[in-house]
Amino acid sequence: MANLGTRIYTRFKGRLVGKDADGRCYYEARTANRTGGGLKRHERWVIYHKGEDASAVPPEWWGWLHHIDDAPLPESARKSWQIPYQPNQTGTPEAYRPPGSDYRGGQRASTTSDYEAWFPEG
């Protein structure tokens, strides 16, 4: 969700490049800026949905956004074995909670390993 300044900047300086499967809009500046290394390149940015963080950017757009690729990867480039992208779920109810986690009761299976606890001599 863009604030007023970002919306104004996008309206006057940006050019819509495309949208991802979830509807996020990706923009590129109409004119190139000189970088610290003397290169000229177009600034790129994304307008997130409300409450999203940077992990919401799918891999098809991540490379383009960070100037690794000249164009975003098309959806057709996805392989059949690739699962759909999910943003980082940490801190949400969908987060991974392994067996023994306090969120899953705190009980873990007893181990039969050869681990022996160390105790100082005394």
Q: How far is CA 71 from the centre of its chain?
A: 18
What's the residue count for the chain? 122
62 domain-assigned: yes
119 domain-assigned: no
Total structural domains within the chain = 1
97 domain-assigned: yes
Confidence of residue 28 (pLDDT cuts 50, 70, 90): very high
117 domain-assigned: no
Q: What does the pLDDT look like over 55-114, one tens digit per residue?
A: 999 988 999 999 998 888 887 888 889 888 888 988 888 888 887 788 777 777 776 677
Q: What range does the domain containing 44 cover?
A: 2-76+83-102
Three-class SS string for 19-57?
Answer: ECCCCCEEEEECCCEECCCCCEECCEEEECCCCCCHHHC
